[in-house]
Structures are given as C-alpha cells and as structure tokens.
Chain A
Amino acid sequence: MIALLRRDLRLAVRAGGGFGLGLAFFLIVIVLVPFGVGPETEILTRIAPGILWVASLLAALLSLDRIFALDYEDGSLALLATSPLPLEGAALMKALAHWISTGLPLTIAAPALGFLLSLAPEAYGFLLMSLLIGTPALSMIGTFGAALTVGLRRGGLLLSLLVLPLYVPTLIFGAEAVRRGANGLDATGALVLLGAVTAGAFALLPFATAATLRINLR
C-alpha cells in the first residue's frame, strides 16, 4: 500500500499540478477577496474564517477528478483491482496522497493568507487546527466522489455537484471553530464534531469507494 502512496506522490510532484495548482488557486482566491469586498479591516476580519474555509474547500476540489481518472484511462486501475492490494486500501492511499499533495500544503499556507485577510490574532491556532483536522475529510469524501464518476468522460462538473453538498458539515464546523476562536469563545465542540466527520469519513468511505470502483470497472 505504501508503494501506491509513494507512486502517487511522485507523480504529483513530477506531473505538476498536484502540489502547486491547488495552493496557487487558494492564494489567488484569498488575494481576490479584498478586491471584491473592499479594504475595510473590520469586514475582512469578520468574514476571514468563512472565506479561508470556502477557499480551501474549492482548492481541494480542483484536483479531485485526477485521483482515479488518470489510472482509469491508462489501465492501471483495472490492474490494481486484480492485484493483491485490497481496493479499500488503494482508496485509502489515494485519499492520503491527495491530502498530502493538497490539504497539507493548504493547512501550512493558510496562516500566512489569514494575515492578508487580517484574521484576528487569536484565531490563527484554531485555523491551523481546524484545517489539519478537517481537510483529510475533504480528501476522503472527494476520493469517493471521484470513484463515482470514474468511468465518465468530463465527469469533473458532476463530481463537484456530488461532492460539494457532502462537504457542508466539514465547512460548518471548520469555519465555526475558527470564528469562535477569533471571538475568544470555546471552540472545543466544533473541533470535536469536525474530527468526528473526518473519523466517520475514514471509517466508512474506503469501503464505499472500493465497492463503487468494482461496479465501475465491470
């Protein structure tokens, strides 16, 4: 299973688009927001948690359709399905590789971009923590969505429509944790629920993803 993770990360680095693309998109969205809403710091401070979370959601969405589509096209997916590697494990590794190449860089870059939106100083820790807990769920749910649309040509749009509603709980709890942190309130509840969504996604979705892939490969 580690071999698959290593290969996917290597491909993400070499083929480009993996590491850079999502991060650059995140950066641009965050930079564009002050142009759109104006430079008043109080407004930016108030909307910063939500904007940062929505932007990381969209950035994670950007590279989802590549998770299985490339392997499907060049035949590796059928070969992986007939290999001794359990498809559930492959799904988990795919999600993990997606998180390392998208979610993790976003998490690390987010505090710097929070500065651009004049995020409240107390909120930085919560931003980092909520993204660290929440973004793995984005990758896992997205992997499931990618498996659903794997056989379709131009399934990218359908994938977004399928996956974005499933991102709602993560978005609500993630942004809420940062907002509460910014206002000096107790954010434990939101963080715990955020963690619950992630844990649930990782407990159930590898199996759902593998079942979906088996049906799509028939």
Chain B
Amino acid sequence: MSDDLSAVIRPIAQAQGLPNAHYTDPDTFAEEREALLFSQWAGLATASDVPEPGDAKPIEFLGTPLLLIRDREGQVRVFHNICRHRGMILVSEPRKIEGAIRCPYHSWCYSTQGKLVATPHVGGPGMNTHDGIDRTTLGLIEVPSHIWRDVVFINMDGTAAPFAEVHADLIARWSDFDTDLHHGGGDSTFTLEVKTNWKLAVENYCESYHLPWVHPGLNSYSRLEDHYNIEAPGLYSGQGSILYRQIRAEDGTVFPDFPGLPEKWQTAAEYVAVYPNVLLGVQKDHAFAIILEPRGIEETAEHIHLYYATPHVDEDLRRANAALWKTVFEEDIFVVEGMQKGRHAPGFDGGRFSPAMDGPTHCFHAWAADRLRARRPMAAE
C-alpha cells in the first residue's frame, strides 16, 4: 500500500492529507502507536480520577494495563499494572489502597510508591527472602508521568524530553490560566464513544472552518470571522475566538472568573489540541480537557472534563454548562464518523486543505508525518 508522507509535509497549498492507511490499516495503527502515542506525552486520565491518597484506578492504554494511583504522599503515579513475579494483574477495579498493593496470586506486596515490600514464602514456607530475589530491583515498573491542567500525561517509552520542556511554548501561552482548576465533579464529566480513528477527533477539534455548518447554534454568538488559527508546528494547534460569551442563568448568575486574568480574556477563548491526544479549552470562567482514548483503529472514547475557578459553583448552571458542551461535542460525532467511513474509499487521496482555514489540521498532519518519517528507513519512501 502506498504511503507517501512527503506529500503531507508540503506547504499547505500543495499538501495532501494523511493517506487512508493511517485510519484503516492495522500495521499503520501499530506504527502510529509507537511513533505518535508511546514516544510522546500522551494524555491518559486526570488527577481528579484519583483524588485521595491510596486511590487507584486500573486503565488500559492501547493494550497496556496501567495503574493510576495517588501514593501515600499525594503524588500521582502511573505503573504497569502487573506483578513483577508472574505478571498477574494487580488491581482489577478502581478502589482505595489502604496500605500495600497485594498481588492476588502469590501475595507479593508493593507500596503505593511502587516499592516491593513483601515476598511471602519466596524462600520456602515461612521464609520470606531468598538470595536470588533482590527486592530493590523488583519494584513496580513506573511510566514517566506529568500533570498539567489536571491531565495526567504519560510517556510510555520513556524517550521524550521533560514535559515542561516539550510544552514550554503552550505553558507560557496560557500562563494567565496558571491557577487552581477545580473539577466540576460527577456531572461535569462524560464520555462519548465514537466510531472513528482518534486523529480525526483531533483534526475536527482544532479547526474553526466547520463551526457554522456543524454547530449552527454557535453562529449567534461565536461567528466564524471571530476566530483565528493557532499553529505551533510540531507541538500543538487549534483555534481562538475573540468573542467569547459566557453562559448566564436567567437570573443573571454566571461562573466566577479565574483570578487575575488580563483584560483580553474577558472576550477571548482558545481551544488547542496538544499532540497527540489531548484537547484543551480555556475561557475566563471555565475550562475543559478532552482525553482521546484510542480503543482501536476505528474506535475512540472521548473523555470530557469541565473545570471551574472555585470549588463550588452554581449547581444548575454547572449542569446546564455540561449539557451545552455535550450538545456541541455530540454535534461533531457524525462528522468524525463520516470521515472515518470515507477513509475506506480507495479513491480518497488524503484530501486537499483550505490554505486559509485548515492550517491547524495541516499542522497536525505534518507533525504526524514528521514523526513517522523519522522512524522509517530511508528506503521506505
């Protein structure tokens, strides 16, 4: 199958989009898992998923069983969810770890920091040490992780530069919002199961071109001409609006603003896809994070979380806000599922971009193509 990525990285006016194989072919999916997800800082979950010390949540990420846990000192960590003895799954459902993580098979025990603290009967009945078992070398396998804006980013293969270094540009861009985020709780999180490749969800999110057609309800207060493209090659892309209008209850109630924001954010908002799989939005009175969980080549779960400036906000307004965003994100489903089906048409050549409107999407495609090309033998193209 032809997979010429050189066309993807041309200037946008001449570029083609990623070929169909990148949305339909199992081998390409496996290649992208390594090049675009495991070798980068990918979004896994939120720190709010494990709010208290000892909270543990098993999560499968692209086939790898992981354990998200907040250790006794309050630090969020990610481990391979397996015992170093026989590879048994350690934690099979979300729960509180009161003391140690005990493997349900032979009861090897680990601290919440991942240290192997007990190996019962390893030297024979009632003998709990053996010269051949060095516990200091058999702790849980930890995956490098970093929390930013409550999102737990992980670097599965351990090759990425530190998160703060990789994303210094975006962290600086949004430094005005470097303040406490308060998750809205159970009614401010929802998951959408979508029959699409994860990349199409990124591509749709980061451009504003589709807004007047797919989200006509936004036209009244968020017109296309009020948007601008955001493009940071190799890092992130998205869209901004110069006319953000906050949600308001009939009695005039609004959410409190994040503290200390410069005047420009009174009417501005930005929506950015942090490559590979995290979609973020910032506005003066609330923010959101969407973690795209690739469950298969053509299957993605979108985990949406809404955040506020204070621990408690008006309950009815909070619910209305979640319902509003859910409507918006659901309006996108037919688009990403339709594009996914379209990728099975042999005649589709990756498509052409609007040089004026599709810059953020092309930026993402070029990022993907660059990373794939860097890992391929020269003769492959």
Are A and B genuine complex partners?
A: no
